[in-house]
Amino acid sequence: MNPRSQRTQELVAEDRAHLWHPFSQASEWESEDALIVERAEGRWLFDTDGNRYLDGISSLWVNVHGHRHPEVDKAIIRQLGLIAHTTLLGLGSPPSIELARRLAGLCPGDLVRVFYSDNGSTSVEVALKMAYQYFQQRGRPGDAARTRFIAFTDAYHGDTVGSVSLGGIDLFHGIYKPLLFDALRAPYPYCYRCPLGKAQGTCSDACLQRLEEILAVHGSETAALVIEPLVQGAAGIITAPPGHFRSVADMCKRHGVLLICDEVATGFGRTGTMFACQQEGVVPDFLCLAKGISAGYLPLAATVTTDEVYDVFRGPYAAHRTFYHGHSYTGNALACAAAIASLDVFLNEKVLEGLPDKVQRLRDRLGERIASHPNVGDLRQCGLMVGIELVADRFTKAGLPLEDRIGRQVILEARKLGVMIRSLGDVVVLMPPLAITGEEIDFLVDVTARSIDAILGRAQ
């Protein structure tokens, strides 16, 4: 590692004097050697001292094709020569129209109506409000009673008040309970630590049975169920058993409950297909997209729904059936241009076709280097999403001391070795860009393994 320059020291001091960092304990941030990222190239980040790091978490799960992809760069520059932004309130714009058409062609089934916002939280917030208003305006017997929502244990859907109401991570959401609406809570199949206390592999779909019980009692008062399909991201990359998601969707259909799929983290190839819901043949009523939608370049989100939902909001002005929701930067032209270029890269570079080999290589390397470590309790993978749960004892599943911040220590060690990863508590998360090469996968796993060894030791 190169030594710290005077410029870096000055930037760190100014950062500590003025910035408030997200999801960061201020006293901890101020006591560590802050890393200031200045530029990037491909899958690699460079700090202000010229040190290089493999971007093993896609800059918080957003980067898809690598940094500074020439086609995406060119698209943004072309759009800058026309206009950077104009409102969609009463106006249209070519990039927002083109992207909506492209998304309608990519999304499964009859998901053809696109509502733009700025980030994952707002994409979910939009879906909640649409689902609620849909039933208030549809006009069938019993519709007005459908005012509640079902969410899952350990869920994370963002940080706005509506999305936090769906959240099930007390560390993030507990303090805000007085501000939130009351969501019905179903158990998510975190099979390593079963929320229903069942032994792993013996539950016989107990989580699904509990959801069926909730729907039997509350289905007629429920507007929608919200789920992260296949993988709960912020909970620690919790992967659902095959068929679980399909069963949830079927239950919603039987009870007339709308299905909202939060694919903010899982969309755009992360699980191996363009959208996770496609793996089990599910067509939701709402598909919430963000993060990778613009290839990790600019803030953009989309809530995609059906004409059936859209039509309920039609009517004369005096009927007040309008969806009164919007953002100043809704459908930003630069962000939409980046997203269109990203979809072109998916096609032209056959990105999805190249994923199976990468997914398998990652699985193989994890098995060779990490799975047998005595402090690795559970190793979870779906596509290029990986969660490595570290424990004090893999047989009892006892957790590591909270105050030791072992997960944090592991990622700081990896940083010294040239890899940028992130921890969720004591779950080490790997989520590289889809453009990662085979050699870079090997390096990512090797450094992660070496970092776990350095902090926890190997032979115990």
Instruction: Tell me how far apart the alpha carbons of residues 251 and 308 are, in angstroms, rounded to a whole number.
Output: 20
3-class SS string, the chain: CCCCCHHHHHHHHHHHHHCCCCCCCHHHHHHCCCCCEEEEEECEEEECCCCEEEECCHHHHCCCCCECCHHHHHHHHHHHCCCCCCCCCCCCCHHHHHHHHHHHHHCCCCEEEEEEECCHHHHHHHHHHHHHHHHHHHCCCCHHHCCEEEEECCCCCCCCHHHHHHCCCHHHHHHHHHHCCCCEEECCCCHHHCCCCCCCCCCCCHHHHHHHHHHHHHHHHEEEEEECCCEECCCCCEECCCCHHHHHHHHHHHCCCEEEEECCCCCCCCCCCCCHHHHHCCCCCEEEECHHHHCCCCCCEEEEEEHHHHHCCCCCHHHCCCCCCCCCCCCCHHHHHHHHHHHHHHHHCCCCCCHHHHHHHHHHHHHHHCCCCCCEEEEEEECCEEEEEECCECCCCECCCHHHCHHHHHHHHHHHCCEECEEECCEEEECCCCCCCHHHHHHHHHHHHHHHHHHHCCCC
Joined together, the tokens standing for residue 27 give 């006293």
**pLDDT on residue 171:** 87
Asked if residue 46 belongs to a domain, the reply is: yes
How many CB atoms within 10 Å of residue 38? 13
Q: CATH code at 33?
A: 3.90.1150.10
Kindly state whether residues 104 and 215 are assigned to the same domain. Answer: yes
Kindly state whether residues 119 and 144 are assigned to the same domain. Answer: yes
Of 315, 348, 381, which one is at a domain's C-terminal end? Answer: 348
Kindly state whether residues 42 and 99 are assigned to the same domain. Answer: no
Kindly state whether residues 161 and 278 are assigned to the same domain. Answer: yes
Of 348, 382, 412, which one is at a domain's C-terminal end? Answer: 348
For residue 439, count CB atoms less than 10 angstroms from its CB and return exposed for 0-12, middle for 13-18, buried for 19 or more: exposed
Kindly state whether residues 144 and 51 are assigned to the same domain. Answer: no
Task: Please count the structural domains in the chain.
Answer: 2
Asked if residue 130 belongs to a domain, the reply is: yes
Asked if residue 1 belongs to a domain, the reply is: no
Kindly state whether residues 400 and 436 are assigned to the same domain. Answer: yes
Asked if residue 89 belongs to a domain, the reply is: yes
Asked if residue 373 belongs to a domain, the reply is: yes
How many CB atoms within 10 Å of residue 135? 21
Kindly state whether residues 334 and 411 are assigned to the same domain. Answer: no
Asked if residue 242 belongs to a domain, the reply is: yes
Kindly state whether residues 84 and 54 are assigned to the same domain. Answer: no
Which range of residues forms the domain containing residue 245? 73-348
Instruction: Tell me how far apart the alpha carbons of residues 335 and 446 are, in angstroms, rounded to a whole number.
Output: 35
pLDDT (tens place) for every residue of the chain, 460 residues total:
899 999 999 999 999 999 999 988 888 888 888 899 999 999 999 999 999 999 999 999 999 999 999 999 999 999 999 999 999 999 999 999 999 999 999 999 999 999 999 999 999 999 999 999 999 999 999 999 999 999 999 999 999 999 999 999 988 888 999 999 999 999 999 999 998 888 877 776 899 999 999 999 999 999 999 999 999 999 999 999 999 999 999 999 999 999 999 999 999 999 999 999 999 999 999 999 999 999 999 999 999 999 999 999 999 999 999 999 999 999 999 999 999 999 999 999 999 999 999 999 999 999 999 999 999 999 999 999 999 999 999 999 999 999 999 999 999 999 999 999 999 999 999 999 999 999 999 999 999 999 999 999 864 4
The residue assigned the tokens 């993060």 is 291
**pLDDT on residue 459:** 44
**pLDDT on residue 29:** 84
Asked if residue 40 belongs to a domain, the reply is: yes
Kindly state whether residues 45 and 185 are assigned to the same domain. Answer: no
Of 328, 348, 368, which one is at a domain's C-terminal end? Answer: 348
Kindly state whether residues 287 and 362 are assigned to the same domain. Answer: no
Q: CATH code at 158?
A: 3.40.640.10
Largest CA distance in the chain: 73
**pLDDT on residue 458:** 65
Kindly state whether residues 340 and 356 are assigned to the same domain. Answer: no
Non-local (6+) Cβ contacts of 322 within 8 A are 313
How many CB atoms within 10 Å of residue 243? 11
Kindly state whether residues 297 and 168 are assigned to the same domain. Answer: yes
Asked if residue 337 belongs to a domain, the reply is: yes
